[in-house]
Chain A
Amino acid sequence: MPATDPAGTAARPADAGRATGEPLLRLRGIVKNFGPVQALGGVDLDVPAGSVTALVGDNGAGKSTLIKVISGIHQADGGEFLWDGRPVTVRGPRDTAALGIATVYQDLALCDNLDIVQNMFLGHELLRGRLLDEDAMEVKARATLKDLSVTTVRSIRQPVGSLSGGQRQSVAVARAVMADAKLVIMDEPTAALGVSQTAMVLNLIETLSARGVAVLVISHNLNDVFAVADRIAVLYLGKLAAQGPLSEFDTQRAVELITTGAARGAPTAHADAVGAREV
């Protein structure tokens, strides 16, 4: 496979094009600097459709920067952004939204004062003439939530501020589905959720990928990662330390990659030396 790892520490070559040829999203050599600080130092990432890719890494590894680049909030200083095999230029969140990229943010970008339907359609309201078509939006919102098996909300006309954390996540995901997203990025979807609500969100992620959507999940919680991910990509200090199918990872190896950027199985002497230490 053509993917070369600029970090030189990956244990396995990236398995781009493993199943269906081109992955939906392919990043090559993405660089992002904030003044003198290099947040991303040449990241190659593949996100295939119909599967869940988990992006893991320690604090400051560049996960948030990377997803902000993918969702168009930050613009990369260098590198290639390939969508369905075609190079594209991304100048802002509107461009990525037009491609079909939806991001469900860690801080839950919902308006508490608006109700569920209003939040789900925010930015792409249905109109009849020049007026809002509330009924059509409500019908479609209800169908989408039902599709995603979100049944715990009492009324979809209640303000989002009155919902629980898991329900808010569901609304945010349903919002992405509603926008016909091809790639849904979820930033720490289970942080601050209880046990049953975490299960609800993980189910939702599986439902999404079963519908053929590419899902990119950022998570600190390796239990959740191993529960839902099909592929894992590890960021370490702004570079991709490894990426590949879930079967190539176990918890031990993932933890080593996250904390040291290399695993025991890696071929370089440096990695061996680092990996030999107990983590």
Chain B
Amino acid sequence: MSSTSPPSTGPVAGSSPEPPPGPRPATAALVASPEVVATNLGEYLRAWGKRVRSGESGMLPVVAGLVLIVIIFQSQSSKFLSAGNLANLTVQGAPYVLLGMAEVFVLLLGEIDLSIGYSAGIGAIIAVALNAPPRNHGWFISCVAALAVTTAIGAVQGLLITRLRLPSFVVTLAGYLGLEGVLLFLVDRLGGASSGGTIAIPLSSILRDFDSTGNLSPAAGWVVLAVGVAVFAVATAFRDRRRAAAGLVAPPVALTALRIAAVAAAGVAVVAVCNINRGLRVPVRGVPWSVLIVLGVLVVWSFMLTRTRYGRYVYAVGGNAEAARRAGVRTDRIRLGAFALAGTTAGLAGIVYASFLGSASNNIPGGQLVLYAVAAAVIGGTSLFGGRGRMLHALLGGVVVATIYNGMGLLDLSAAAQDMVIALVLLAAVTVDAVARRGTVAR
């Protein structure tokens, strides 16, 4: 090598290669959430349309899918949209929706919990066994005990996952298998040899009313609806006013009004349908309690996820666990909490399921329930990859699952066909999720 340097070498030889020259836009093409840029309704709708076209379709696919499914079933069986069947559908769907909400907690972290089906079964058996003879404990104590146990089951699994750094899939798969065994054991011990594996809820117990038999009186349904809509409207208007007062972008008034009107209309439709007499011999009317239970859990959990620090950290850990850790978030506690909350919600689902059946037994389909739960959350729009999802997704997805289940039952289609159709819907939902995710990453 000669000592003469190449003529082209500049005075700063040795510095890092510069980025390729050429103008680059300072701002990438952004697709912002319509709520944050629109100042009137027209702008909002245009921004929303743009976002849907770019792959951020939100809840549009599941709502459109649900409408399509309803049209198909109604065209095949005129009984589908009858008041009796719709009320039946809501009580059938309640356990799926609740289990879906349990699964949302862990899916938001990018984890999965396969054990919640049998966890729900254990919750059911404990609540029923404590409430039934010979123990005869009060319904409330029985439920609290059941929820404490299922919460502990979730927490133990969460501990194994966070302390030993085991994959949640394997830990909860072990939970799935082990808890089925625990369930059999509990039914034998609590029910006694003569139970035949089933413990019935006492006929007089309020536990029977949680799902299927308990209804609000027609007047009470309207009162609850009016109070609910009023609270929602006042809270929304109050929040918008405060944002505007702080000089922040508030959603257009027309949009807020539209949203409140939509909620009120949906509520009126539900209450009106439920208040039609659907009894065959004795009149049965009113909104099922299970609807209130599901909506109550939805509101509480949604509030926690969106308005509390814990909820914010769940999204942060699911989005980028390392970033959350570096920001000082105790990620292990967040994970542990999510598994425990999934356990609590699963226990509640189990109690509602037992109420629907009128008994708790050792042949609860824990495997099918957990798969329906994951399906409900994902069909509703919650991502399997963590960080994206809402409690509302479990409600929408759970309604889709319950609708397929119910509609195909009306058409006398076999269980085989039901499972295959739900599998196809699930595949479609996961595809939408994966495509949407690829779209955001590619940007």
- State the A residues within 8 Å of B (CB): 73, 93-94, 97, 103, 105, 109-114, 118, 122-125, 127, 130-132, 135-136, 138-139, 152-155, 157-159, 161-164, 166-167, 193-198, 200, 220-223, 251-252, 255, 259, 278-279
Do the beta carbons of A158 and B30 come within 8 Å of each other? yes
1/0 contact trace for B300-323 toward A, CB 8 Å? Answer: 000000011100100110111011
Do the beta carbons of B326 and A103 come within 8 Å of each other? yes
Given A154-B27, A223-B15: 14 more A-B contacts, CB < 8 Å? A73-B326, A93-B326, A94-B328, A110-B320, A122-B323, A123-B329, A153-B27, A155-B249, A157-B32, A157-B36, A167-B27, A194-B19, A220-B16, A255-B13
Complex Cα distance A262/B129, Å?
80
Do the beta carbons of B443 and A162 come within 8 Å of each other? yes
Contact of A135 among B13, B14, B248, B443 (CB under 8 A): B248
Do the beta carbons of B31 and A109 come within 8 Å of each other? no
Do the beta carbons of B315 and A135 come within 8 Å of each other? no
Is B264 in the interface zone, CB < 8 Å from A? no
Is B388 in the interface zone, CB < 8 Å from A? yes
1/0 contact trace for B12-38 toward A, CB 8 Å? Answer: 111110110111111110111101110
Complex Cα distance A105/B326, Å?
10
Do the beta carbons of A163 and B308 come within 8 Å of each other? no
Closest to A166 in B: B26
Is B3 in the interface zone, CB < 8 Å from A? yes
Contacts of A73 in B (CB 8 A): 326
Contacts of B324 in A (CB 8 A): 111, 122-123
Complex Cα distance A105/B323, Å?
9
Complex Cα distance A200/B329, Å?
30
Do the beta carbons of A195 and B16 come within 8 Å of each other? no
Among A155, A158, A162, A278, the most chain B Cβ lie within 10 Å of the Cβ of A162
Contacts of A112 in B (CB 8 A): 319-320, 387, 440
Interface size of B as a range: 35 or more
Contact of A139 among B18, B247, B328 (CB under 8 A): B247
What are 21 residue pairs bridging A and B, where the CB atoms are less than 8 Å apart in the complex?
A109-B320, A109-B323, A111-B320, A112-B440, A113-B319, A113-B388, A114-B319, A122-B327, A130-B308, A132-B309, A138-B248, A139-B246, A139-B247, A152-B26, A155-B32, A157-B249, A161-B443, A164-B25, A195-B19, A195-B22, A196-B24
Is B189 in the interface zone, CB < 8 Å from A? no
Do the beta carbons of B12 and A223 come within 8 Å of each other? yes
Contacts of B325 in A (CB 8 A): 93
Contacts of B319 in A (CB 8 A): 111-114
Closest to B243 in A: A135
Do the beta carbons of A200 and B326 come within 8 Å of each other? no
Closest to B386 in A: A113
B345: min CB distance to chain A, Å: 21
Do the beta carbons of B31 and A162 come within 8 Å of each other? yes
Complex Cα distance A166/B35, Å?
24
Closest 4 CB pairs of A and B: A123-B327, A194-B24, A113-B319, A111-B319
Complex Cα distance A278/B4, Å?
10
Is B438 in the interface zone, CB < 8 Å from A? no
Contacts of A113 in B (CB 8 A): 315, 318-320, 387-388
Contacts of A158 in B (CB 8 A): 30, 32-33, 36
A158: min CB distance to chain B, Å: 4
Complex Cα distance A127/B31, Å?
29
Complex Cα distance A192/B320, Å?
20
1/0 contact trace for B252-279 toward A, CB 8 Å? Answer: 0000000000000000000000000000
Complex Cα distance A279/B312, Å?
52
Do the beta carbons of A251 and B12 come within 8 Å of each other? yes
Do the beta carbons of B35 and A109 come within 8 Å of each other? no
- Tell me whether A118 and B312 are in contact in the complex, defined as CB-CB below 8 angstroms, given that A220-B16, A223-B15 are known contacts: yes
Contact of A124 among B32, B35, B328 (CB under 8 A): B328
Contacts of B15 in A (CB 8 A): 221-223, 251, 255
Complex Cα distance A251/B388, Å?
47
Contacts of A221 in B (CB 8 A): 15-16, 18
Closest to A198 in B: B19
Complex Cα distance A188/B435, Å?
32
Do the beta carbons of B37 and A154 come within 8 Å of each other? yes
Do the beta carbons of B316 and A114 come within 8 Å of each other? yes
Do the beta carbons of B312 and A125 come within 8 Å of each other? yes
Complex Cα distance A154/B31, Å?
10
B304: min CB distance to chain A, Å: 10
B240: min CB distance to chain A, Å: 11
Is B333 in the interface zone, CB < 8 Å from A? no
Complex Cα distance A155/B37, Å?
7
Do the beta carbons of B28 and A164 come within 8 Å of each other? yes
Do the beta carbons of B14 and A132 come within 8 Å of each other? no
Among B21, B327, B387, the most chain A Cβ lie within 10 Å of the Cβ of B327
Do the beta carbons of A278 and B32 come within 8 Å of each other? no
Contact of A122 among B12, B248, B329 (CB under 8 A): B329
Complex Cα distance A271/B435, Å?
58
Contacts of A163 in B (CB 8 A): 28, 30
Do the beta carbons of B3 and A278 come within 8 Å of each other? yes
Do the beta carbons of B18 and A223 come within 8 Å of each other? yes
